[in-house]
Structure 1
């Protein structure tokens, strides 16, 4: 007799959050759970640029890392919040991260100004301060 592989059990991510967080679940954690329910935990993890185990730990209220960074990633990627760039005004997360990722290029004064702004105390920067160019 051969066994037939069964599908993975369906996880109720919102119920997981309610069980782990109780009534104190932040709005962004509920959005994260709803996104996982609509898609998959792995797909949502890729979208917010974190690992699936990290997303699971956040949903289960056991994450020991920087929860504020995960919150920012969820708010930018899933909720569509923008940041107020000191140089350009309102930007999406994608645009903000694209500017942060651009290498130094002296070919444009605007590029130089943005490179420095992203590395000189911008509250939205994910760049370590030791990476700054002189």
Structure 2
């Protein structure tokens, strides 16, 4: 039995997105072609269906959040975290998404740092 041919997600993106296609959408499509949508989705914290809808330009959620995660995970975008120093943007966003937990002093400090005026925080009014 032969292996299933890989989907060319870049071709799909070029059919669905207006020119010029954003750099992060191209990076997302290339990552999905090299791996799979579920693997890429898990890597950046989204479902395969959210990745599919993003590539099809039909995602109804926060595209800016997906863009920032893709730029961090696949395009190497970094930020200067006031608490931890340089980190990829997707890692920064993962820290912001964690709920409060007293599991470690670092976790508590990061929770507060992400909610205390950090310039990279996407949290509103928490």
TM-score (norm 1): 0.72
Structure 1 unaligned regions, length at least 5: none
**Preserved contact between residue 14 and residue 33 of structure 1 (Cα < 8 Å):** yes
Residue matched to 2:26: 30
Which 5+ residue runs of structure 2 have no aligned equivalent? none
In structure 1, which of residues 75, 78, 96 is the aligned counterpart of residue 74 of structure 2? 78
Q: Shift of the alpha carbon at 1:116?
A: 2.1
Query: Could you tell me the TM-score, scaled by structure 2's length?
Result: 0.76
How large is the RMSD of aligned CA atoms in angstroms?
A: 3.1
- CA distance in structure 1 between the aligned counterparts of 2:121 and 2:50, rounded to whole angstroms: 21
Residue 59 and residue 91 in structure 1: after superposition, are their counterparts in 2 closer, same or farther (change >3 A)?
Answer: same
Q: Aligned partners of 2:121 and 2:85: how far apart in 1?
A: 14
How many residues matched?
Answer: 124
Moved more, 71-80 or 56-65: 71-80
* 2:53 counterpart of 1:57: yes
Q: Who wins on radius of gyration, i.e. which is larger?
A: 1
